Amino acid sequence: EPISQGYIEIIDAGSGNRVITVIEFLSPSNKAPGEGQYLYLQKRWEAKAAGVSLVEIDLTRT
């Protein structure tokens, strides 16, 4: 099964198009142990390290 990432980036046009917020729509692959979860956790860490706000929307039932 292919791994896909669903997200929206909000940028600040006044600061050179810097990403200020990421809205992430969680999927089963983000939550289940494996490559998808690893990639998502890495993305979360990178956002935090860059000072980007992260909003997680979880519409899945697991």
Closest CA to 50 of 39, 58, 42, 61: 42
Digit-coded pLDDT (tens) for 7-32:
899 999 998 999 999 999 988 888 88
Digit-coded pLDDT (tens) for 31-57:
889 998 999 999 999 999 999 999 999
| pTM (two decimals) | 0.75
| Strand ranges for 1-62 from DSSP E | 6-12, 18-26, 53-58
Hey, where are the domains in the chain?
Answer: 24-62
Return the structure tokens found at 54. 């992260």
Residue 30 CB burial class (10 angstroms; 0-12, 13-18, ≥19):
buried
